[in-house]
Amino acid sequence: MHKNMIGLIFLALTISCPALASSEADEPAEQLSEASEENAAQSSGPLDTGHGWQLMRTMELGNNTGKFVHMVLVDRDKSSDITVYNSAINRLCGKEKEFCRIRFWNLEKYIPEKISLNAEQSRNLLVEHTFNRAAGINETRWSCSVNPSRQDCFTQ
């Protein structure tokens, strides 16, 4: 009961004070079992959001690995604004010490329910950011539709 009351108060403050929520500065910068998917959904709390993007779902890679993949929806009119992606990357991965992956789409219907992507979801992926300290990876892959000036962009 106490947790529900706190949640309602937080929700009321968030709705009634949007300026406070939006003025907060950004922080610095395969297979999934059904049980892990349910645990990630239950423990995720309120979904994060920023100017031009919204976290739609977070799923854990494997069971109790502590490695999460974030699925983000980007506003269609902001799809080619690289700062929107960087903002989400900084907010969602900025405090991660070992692993963080974010995948971005601009149509909600392509955001997968599981970590693995089907062909259509993969074709519509706009950006993928991966940070894996153990593997020495810290890269952002851009689709050519988002950042055509990059020579290493991927086609959809």
Pair of tokens at residue 49: 């959001």
Nearest to 62 by CA among 99, 95, 15: 99
Q: Where are the domains of the chain?
A: 29-142
**Tell me: domain 29-142, CATH 3.30.300, correct?**
yes
Q: Which residues of the chain have pLDDT under 70?
A: 1-47, 156
Residue in the structure block whose two tokens are 């894996």: 132
d(CA 149, CA 139): 17
Which parts of 1-156 are beta strand (E)? 49-50, 53-60, 68-74, 99-105, 127-132, 137-142
Contacts of 92 (CB under 8 A, 6+ apart): 48, 55, 70, 72, 100, 102
Predicted TM-score of the model (pTM): 0.69
Interval 91-110: pLDDT, tens: 999 999 999 999 999 999 99
